Structure 1
Amino acid sequence: MEDVTFGQDQTRVEDVLGAFGPFERVGVAYSGGVDSATLLALAARALGPDRVVAVLGVSPSLAAAERAGAHDVAAFIGVPVVEVRTHEGDNPAYQRNGPDRCFHCKDELFTRIDGSVATVHRLDVIAYGENADDARRPDRPGSRAASEHAVLRPLADAGLDKAAVRRIARVLELPCADKPAAPCLASRIPHFEEVSPEKLAQVEAAESALRALGFVDCRVRHHGEMARVELLVEDIPRAVAPGLREDINAALRSAGFRFVTIDLAGIQSGAFTLPLVAGSAGVAASHG
């Protein structure tokens, strides 16, 4: 592979590369987002792409556009994708949608990998793309699932935060380097309201319609008959302007919502989970 340097992140990148050194074959739990894609690319640099497998969990909580994009990015890196059908939606604990929902989702993914993919593809270890910012947040129960399944987290262990991961992705010229965060569709449903395939499909259709209208970074929070739309703050004036406002309203009504509202706070990462695990709604950060 072409030699590149990573500037201020060089030492930490070397730590990530070194984490893969003891293994013959590695699987990366992969979504196509910047964290998992950067980890996948670094694993390929450390071992060679023929010794790395990208494992993509597929369920109703993964939007079709995200699935297709993940394949495109993996093809750019040169690593094969293995899709694993996950069934977290059959788990009553996941359906209940408590603050630990992500634990049940990741536990299902890692269990499926342990039960089939690791053996078939002769994988010595699985890694996933938790970064150092994620490791400090209280609303990431998926981290517990990773620990229980002995999954590696080389980015977090090396101290690479989100900003550093994006810098590395740009050096590697990954197509997703500046891709907005895209949490799973279930994150749009308030906690303790049941997650169902119908709700997930409704959210996916609504967000797809917003992207078609030019809103690249968006969330549609599902509040029964009402859609609460989160956009970048700078996009809100455009969204409420005559013409586009009517288009948004019509598109989201077509997705099955009766009422459509735009949240003036903009995009809020962890909007449903952080108030429950941190005790304050004010700690939700933008752009997560």
Structure 2
Amino acid sequence: MPESNLPAELAAKRQALRGILRRLGRVLVAYSGGVDSGLLLAEATAVLGAENALGVIARSRLMPDEEFRAAVRLAEERGFALRVMEYDEMAIGGFVANEEDRCYHCKTELLKRFSAIAREWGAKALCTGDNLDDEGDFRPGMRALEEAGTSSPLREARMTKADIRELARRLALPNWDKPSEACLASRVPYGERITAEKLRAIAEGERLLRAMGFRQRRLRCHGDIARIEIEPQDFEKLLDPATRRKIVDGLTALGFNYVAMDLAGYRTGSMNETREAKTEKA
């Protein structure tokens, strides 16, 4: 799509993004199938060719099976070069302990593995899909990106999430409006040890909610309590007696003793709220 068909500001940002990719020359893109990394890999492939743009995706417990399959299918359909890397985050002590720097420990090890692939493949840069909006939230994983020396073309081009979604829509990427899917570990409160069983229960619980039509949802795991976050406009739907019974039965079968709906509704980073409250009191 020529830049002339885009709004002026978005066209300028896309031109900047493409200039950054041309300067890098041969890139390995950390790919998850989400709209950010999907757009980055699409533009890298368009600018540099599939021979100079390789996506790498980690196959791990933190990504539900259906998300992984959708990411691989998107790459195949769009002609992206893609490599799958098996990854076991449960072997990382700092991840399992689940303190506030959990993401830092996980990302550090993940980027170490990606960097090894980048060197072996001859990439000039390892690129990640973080964008301008990522600078505002509490994200300890950003420190891992800096230490690993990764490149952030979307952020460097000053692209926001809204810019990325709009450009992806105009490029007819099927995931342009895909809900944000943070890793499953983000559903567990800091300080509560992460186990494979918890991650499995969360994944199955969110699969149940998705199958029942809740497009934007989170299942937060507080010990034996499942706290459901959905968009406020879906509250009435969830409170339908038959729907409520099916959800309660499904989640108790997964090992939860109590099922609660968060009246504040879905929002990103809700597990950071208690951390922020403690910081303010201090």
TM-score band by shorter chain is: over 0.9
Give yes or no for contact 1:50–1:79 (8 Å, CA) kept in 2. no
Q: 1:258 to 1:217 in 2, by over 3 A?
A: same
Shift of the 130–274 alpha-carbon distance from structure 1 to 2, 3 Å rule, reads farther
AA partner of residue 218 (structure 2)? R
Q: In structure 2, what is the equivalent of residue 284 of structure 1? A: none
Partner of 1:182: 181
Residue identity in the other structure for 2:104: F
Structure with greater proportional helix content: 2
User: After superposition, where does 1:7-18 map in structure 2 within 5 Å?
Assistant: 7=7, 8-18=9-19
Tell me whether 1:25 sits opposite 2:12 in the alignment: no
* Aligned partners of 1:6 and 1:13 also within 8 Å: no
Residue 59 (structure 1) aligns with: 60
Task: Report the Cα distance in structure 2 between the residues aligned to 1:12 and 1:80, rounded to whole angstroms.
Answer: 25
Does 1:122 pair with 2:122?
yes
Q: Within 5 Å, which residues of 2 pair with 1:139-288?
A: 139-276=138-275
Question: Is the CA contact (8 Å cut-off) linking 1:99 and 1:277 kept in structure 2?
Answer: no
Can you give the 5+ residue segments of structure 1 that lack an aligned partner in the other structure? 282-288
Quick check: 1:61–1:185 contact (8 Å CA) kept in 2?
yes
> Residue type of the partner of 2:125?
V
| Map 1:1-150 → 2, pairs under 5 A | 3=2, 5-7=5-7, 8-115=9-116, 117-137=117-137, 139-150=138-149
- Once the two structures are superposed, residues 199-226 of structure 1 have per-residue CA deviations (whole angstroms, 9 ceiling, x without a partner) of 1001001001111111121110011111
Measure the CA separation in 2 of the matches of 1:54 and 1:274. Answer: 34
CA distance in 1, matches of 2:201, 2:222: 11
CA RMSD of superposed structures (Å):
1.7
Moved more, 7-16 or 199-208: 7-16
Name the aligned partner's letter for residue 62 of structure 1.
M
Point out where structure 2 has 5 or more consecutive residues left out of the alignment. Answer: none
| TM-score for both structures, normalised by structure 1 | 0.91
Cα separation, 1, equivalents of 2:279 and 2:177: 29
Counterpart residue identity of residue 60, structure 2 = S
* CA contact 1:76–1:174 (8 Å) conserved in 2: no
Q: Distance between the aligned counterparts of 1:190 and 1:235, measured in 2?
A: 24
Report the alpha carbon displacement of residue 87 of structure 1 after superposing the two structures with TM: 3.0
CA distance in 1, matches of 2:257, 2:160: 40
Of residues 82-91 and 162-171 in structure 1, the stretch that sits farther from structure 2 once superposed is: 82-91
| Deviation for aligned residue 1:75 | 2.1
Q: Following the alignment from structure 1 to structure 2, what is the Cα–Cα distance between the partners of residues 118 and 11?
A: 29
Q: Which amino acid aligns with 2:40?
A: L
- Cα pair 1:133 1:161 within 8 Å, conserved: yes
Contact in 2 for aligned 1:229/1:261 (Cα 8 Å) = yes
Q: How many residue pairs were aligned?
A: 278
The aligned amino acid for 1:109 is L
1:113 & 1:271 partners in 2: Cα distance? 29
- In 1, the alpha carbon distance for the partners of 2:143 and 2:115 equals 16
Amino acid in the other structure paired with 1:118: A
More displaced stretch, 118-127 vs 262-271: 118-127
Q: Residue 62 of structure 1: SS of its match in structure 2?
A: coil
- Percent identity at matched positions? 35
Q: Deviations over 1:59-85 (max 9, x none)?
A: 211111111111122223311221122
Partner Cα distance (1:194, 1:34) in 2: 30
- SS of 1:273's equivalent in the other structure is helix
Q: Secondary structure at the match of 1:56?
A: strand
> What one-letter code is carried by the residue in structure 2 that aligns with 1:162?
K
Q: For the residues of structure 2 that align with 1:270 and 1:69, how far apart are their CA atoms? A: 24
Residues in 1 aligned to 2:53 and 2:201: alpha-carbon distance in whole angstroms:
35
Deviation at 1:257, TM superposition (A): 1.2
Q: CA deviation at 1:6?
A: 2.8
| 2:221 aligned counterpart, secondary structure | strand
> Is 119-128 or 151-160 further displaced after alignment?
119-128
What SS is found at the alignment partner of 2:76?
A: helix
How far, CA to CA, are the matches of 2:186 and 2:19 in structure 1?
34
CA distance in 2, matches of 1:276, 1:136: 15
